[in-house]
Every structure is written in structure tokens, then in C-alpha cells.
């Protein structure tokens, strides 16, 4: 079985650590040992299902090119970051490594990335100049995305049909809220939407539609307290009206798909989550629509999130060239994605995205279509999380908990959240800015 729920993914990964995944360094794809003999160290995260699927893919890669033998270093998400911190301090990072979203600029500031312009083996012929521009960090092409996420509203198409609803192609935020509250009054056994004020990409989408940013070009918070308050207030209005489950019913401010996914009409999330989550409730059909759009949203508010992989700055020239070949396979070979699936998002390579449509399941097709629409839109610049902000989502969760349990007002929680995140960034920058 390839897919698990998000919560199941975390639990499975944690179980994997319990049996040694944190230190899992095994010969994969030919049993390479790491080093100049052609064995590259490849570090990534996930659960045991992902590890198995990637091993199959890397074995296929080695059949095509026996020089590309990988020594895998695998862990669940949090353990992966802890190990990276240790390896950074020791100067012993894997030749190729995935980059956790809150660490993109932290790793950059620590000099972990090797610029890709000099890696002659890396084939970028499928990408436009605009694509490459999207990949840059601080004006430099030093990481290679291998997927694309966008914020979406996932909805249960089976419920839509059963309830005789006409799901529109697009919503505005007020319209969605009015619909959700009315739906809740007419359905005793279902909620309109899970409470999802913690959905980071959706929060970023709200900010960009309201003329603000999650992070700005200077590496600081790019939104105002008023912008944060408006987002939390929108969700509190739905929660207090009974349009969402209670925080207890959904097992925290971060809703448990396992607990309430089969009783919610809609779910705000990342586009790729439909791939895993849909398998938990196979009797239902799921579909995607874009976020609601504010009528005054500025042009270019859409954005793409890229999960990234990088070549270690201290990798040998020979290993860097081999790493380029690995990138060609992980991003440019449809057989790779047929093996591992699309749990890490739509293919970043436009040719592969087109080729994959021949094999895509209905939910994968839905994801590919919504990502393609945002990819084709004109988009303003987006900036990654700065050093010192890696725990911002945990800080936001605490702020939302304080609001939903009555321990803080929305303004109090918003102010505290901004102050704590800003303090971390200031410390990381040495007080500059």
C-alpha cells in the first residue's frame, strides 16, 4: 500500500525511528558505500512506505546507470532535522539531501548548498527561464525542487452529490463562510469544514490576497498583526457558529483526518495531501478547488511551494556530477514518479507532469490540474522562511490553542505570536535589522 493519512504518516515514521530509522544508512540501488567510488549519500525523510517506494525507484535508477549507487540516510521529519544539525556541526552532511521547509534559508546561511550552475551533468532543458527564476534563492540556483504544492480546498464530491449541492468553480471568503454556516444548520451528522487556522500554505494564501506576505525580502515577518487577526477571526467565526468540529472533536487545532475526515464536507490543506488522505476513505470521491479569493486580491497573489533537494557544498566535484544525474532521474524520469507516487506534490518538470497524466489516478489528476492552473498564473515573488523562524508553526499552534480555549483574545494571541517569532529571527541575525 503506497498511501497513508497525514497522521498515519507521522505515526508510521515515528515507528520507523523506533526500529532504527534515525541511523538508517543502508546500501540502496547497488549498495554504494559513499565516496568517490560512485556511492553517493542521499538523505531524506518520511515513513517506511516512502522508504520502500524510494528504494524501488533507486534500484531502477541503478539498473539504468550502475554508477548511481546510493547510500540512503533516512529518518522521520523531526529526527531528520536533528541529524542534519549534528552533521552540519561536524561538516559531514550527505552528498544529496532534502531541505525541510522551515530550514531552507537556515541551511543557506550556513553554506550547505552547492551552486548548481557549475554541475554540468544537470539537465535543465525542460525548464523555461521563468521556471529557473522560481527556483532561485537569493538570486542563486542552489537547490533543485522535486515537487510543487499549492493551497487548496479539498471537498468530498460524494457528499456534494448526496446533498444536491452545486459546488462553484470559485468562492470568495465571505461567500464560503456564509455557505459553511448554513450547511451546518442543515446537517446534524456533518460539518461544513474542519477548523484549519493552522494550515500554513492557506494562511499564506490569505495574506497574499490581502496585500501582505508570510516573509518579506529582508528576512522578517511580512504581515501585520491586523492581517494575522483577520485570519484567526475568520476561523473563529466558523468554529463558534458550529460550522467546524470542536477542537476536541477534531483532536486539536490541527484537525485529525482520521477522526473527522469522513464527516467534513471540506478541508483546507495542501494540494498533495489528497493523494494520501483519499485512501483512508475509499468509499468517497474527493476533489479540489482553489482557495476562496478576496474580491480585492492583488494580481499575482497565487504562489507555488517547492519541496527542495540540494547538493552539499563540500561534496567532491565527482560526486556533484553524479548528484546531477540523480537529480535528472528524480525530477526528469516519469518511471521514478510512477514508482514513488505524487505524495510530494505535482512533478516540477513540466514534461514529466504532462507525461504522468497518462497514469494518474483521479485524485492525482485533480492535483495536477489545480497546480497547473496556479503555475500558469502570473505570480509575484515569494520568500522562504528566514533563519531563526523554524518553529513558527509551533508558535502559531500555541497561539490558536490559547484563542480556542479562551486563554487569550485574538489580539493578545496574535501579538504574542508575532513577538515570539520576531525574537527568534532577531537572535539568529545577531540583532541586525
- Work out the average pLDDT over 177-185: 96
CB 40 within 8 A of CB 326: yes
Residue 172 has pLDDT above 70, yes or no: yes
Hey, do 6-147+307-367 and 151-301+388-428 end up sharing a CATH topology, with the first three levels equal? yes
Cα 427 to chain centroid distance, Å, stands at 26
Residues 269 and 354: their CA atoms lie apart, in Å, by 24
pLDDT tens per residue, range 331-366: 999 999 999 999 999 999 999 999 999 999 999 999
Q: What is the pLDDT of residue 431?
A: 58
Q: What is the pLDDT of residue 340?
A: 94
pLDDT band at 67 (very low <50, low <70, confident <90, very high): confident
Average pLDDT, the chain: 90
Q: What is the pLDDT of residue 429?
A: 86
Q: What is the pLDDT of residue 18?
A: 36
User: What's the grid cell of residue 418?
Assistant: 508575532
pLDDT band at 432 (very low <50, low <70, confident <90, very high): low
Residue spans of the domains in the chain: they are: 6-147+307-367, 151-301+388-428
User: Mind spelling out the 3-state secondary structure of the chain?
Assistant: CCCCCHHHHHHHHHHHHHCCHHHEEEEECCCCCCCCCCEEEEEEECCHHHHHHHHHHHHHHHHHCCCCEEEEEEECHHHHHHHHHHHHHHCCCCCEEEECHHHHHHHHHCCCECCCCCCCCCCCCCCCHHHHHHHCECCECCCEECCEECEEEEEEHHHHHHCCCCCCCCCCHHHHHHHHHHHHHHCCCCEEECCCCCCHHHHHHHHHHCCCCCECCCCCECCCHHHHHHHHHHHHHHHHCCCCCCCCCCCCCCCCHHHHCCCEEEEEEECCHHHHHHHHCCCCCEEEEECCCCCCCCCCCCCCECCEEEEECCCCHHHHHHHHHHHHHHHHCHHHHHHHCCCCCECCCHHHHHHHCCCCCHHHHHHHHHHHHHHHCCCCCCCCCCCCCCCHHHHHHHHHHHHHCCCCCHHHHHHHHHHHHHHHHHHHCCCCC
Residue 17 has pLDDT above 70, yes or no: no
CB 238 within 8 A of CB 180: yes
pLDDT tens per residue, range 253-308: 999 999 999 999 999 999 999 999 999 999 999 999 999 999 999 999 999 999 99
Residues 324 and 282: their CA atoms lie apart, in Å, by 39
Q: What is the pLDDT of residue 188?
A: 87
Which CATH number is 6-147+307-367 given? 3.40.190.10
Q: What is the pLDDT of residue 69?
A: 86
Q: What is the pLDDT of residue 360?
A: 96
pLDDT tens per residue, range 89-146: 999 999 999 999 999 999 999 999 999 999 999 999 999 999 999 999 999 999 999 9
**Of 24-38, 49-63, 214-228, minimum mean pLDDT range:** 24-38
User: What's the grid cell of residue 351?
Assistant: 514534461
**Of 33-42, 58-67, 417-426, minimum mean pLDDT range:** 33-42
pLDDT tens per residue, range 75-99: 999 999 999 999 999 999 999 999 9
CB 390 within 8 A of CB 110: no
**Of 25-39, 132-146, 151-165, 241-255, minimum mean pLDDT range:** 25-39
Residue 151 has pLDDT above 50, yes or no: yes
Residues 261 and 278: their CA atoms lie apart, in Å, by 9
pLDDT tens per residue, range 360-408: 999 999 999 999 999 999 999 999 999 999 999 999 999 999 999 999 9
Residue 38 has pLDDT above 70, yes or no: no
Fold of 151-301+388-428: D-Maltodextrin-Binding Protein; domain 2 (3.40.190)
Q: What is the pLDDT of residue 29?
A: 45
pLDDT band at 160 (very low <50, low <70, confident <90, very high): very high
Q: What is the pLDDT of residue 66?
A: 85
Amino acid at each position: 500500500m503506497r498511501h497513508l493519512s497525514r497522521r498515519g504518516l507521522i505515526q508510521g515514521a515515528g515507528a520507523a525511528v523506533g526500529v532504527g530509522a534515525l541511523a538508517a544508512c543502508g546500501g540502496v540501488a547497488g549498495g554504494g558505500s559513499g565516496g568517490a567510488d560512485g556511492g553517493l549519500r542521499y538523505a531524506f525523510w518520511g515513513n517506511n512506505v516512502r522508504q520502500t517506494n524510494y528504494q524501488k525507484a533507486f534500484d531502477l535508477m541503478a539498473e539504468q546507470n550502475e554508477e548511481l549507487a546510493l547510500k540512503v540516510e533516512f529518518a522521520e521529519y523531526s529526527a531528520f532535522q536533528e541529524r542534519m544539525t549534528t552533521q552540519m556541526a561536524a561538516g559531514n552532511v550527505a552528498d544529496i539531501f532534502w531541505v525541510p521547509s522551515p530550514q531552507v534559508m537556515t541551511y543557506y546561511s550556513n553554506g550547505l548548498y552547492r551552486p548548481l550552475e557549475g554541475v554540468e551533468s544537470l539537465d535543465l532543458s525542460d525548464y523555461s527561464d521563468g521556471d529557473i527564476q522560481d527556483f532561485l534563492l537569493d538570486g542563486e540556483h542552489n537547490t533543485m525542487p522535486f515537487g510543487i504544492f499549492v493551497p487548496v480546498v479539498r471537498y468530498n464530491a460524494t457528499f456534494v452529490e448526496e446533498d444536491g449541492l452545486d459546488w462553484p468553480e470559485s468562492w470568495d471568503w465571505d461567500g464560503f463562510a456564509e455557505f459553511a454556516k448554513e450547511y451546518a444548520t442543515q446537517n446534524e451528522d456533518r460539518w461544513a469544514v474542519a477548523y484549519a487556522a493552522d494550515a500554513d500554505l492557506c494562511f499564506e494564501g490569505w495574506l497574499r490576497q490581502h496585500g501582505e506576505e508570510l516573509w518579506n525580502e529582508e528576512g522578517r515577518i511580512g504581515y501585520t498583526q491586523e492581517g494575522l487577526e483577520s485570519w484567526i477571526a475568520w476561523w473563529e467565526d466558523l468554529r463558534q457558529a458550529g460550522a467546524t468540529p470542536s477542537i476536541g472533536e477534531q483532536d486539536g487545532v490541527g484537525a485529525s483526518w482520521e477522526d473527522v475526515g469522513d464527516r467534513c464536507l471540506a478541508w483546507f490543506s495542501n494540494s498533495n495531501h489528497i493523494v494520501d488522505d483519499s485512501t483512508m476513505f475509499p468509499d468517497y470521491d474527493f476533489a479540489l478547488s482553489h482557495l476562496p479569493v478576496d474580491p480585492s486580491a492583488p494580481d499575482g497573489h497565487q504562489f507555488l511551494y517547492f519541496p527542495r533537494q540540494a547538493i552539499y557544498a563540500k561534496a567532491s566535484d565527482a560526486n556533484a556530477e553524479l548528484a546531477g544525474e540523480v537529480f535528472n532521474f528524480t525530477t526528469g524520469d516519469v518511471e521514478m514518479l510512477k514508482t514513488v507516487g505524487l505524495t510530494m506534490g505535482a512533478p516540477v518538470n513540466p514534461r514529466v507532469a504532462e507525461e504522468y497524466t497518462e497514469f494518474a489516478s483521479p485524485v492525482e489528476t485533480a492535483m495536477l490540474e489545480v497546480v497547473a492552473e496556479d503555475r500558469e498564473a502570473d505570480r509575484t515573488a515569494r520568500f522562504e522562511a528566514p533563519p531563526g523562524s523554524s518553529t513558527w508553526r509551533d508558535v502559531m499552534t500555541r497561539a490558536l490553542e490559547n484563542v480556542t480555549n479562551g486563554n487569550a483574545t485574538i489580539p493578545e494571541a496574535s501579538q504574542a505570536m508575532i513577538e515570539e517569532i520576531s525574537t527568534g529571527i532577531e537572535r539568529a541575525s545577531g540583532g541586525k535589522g
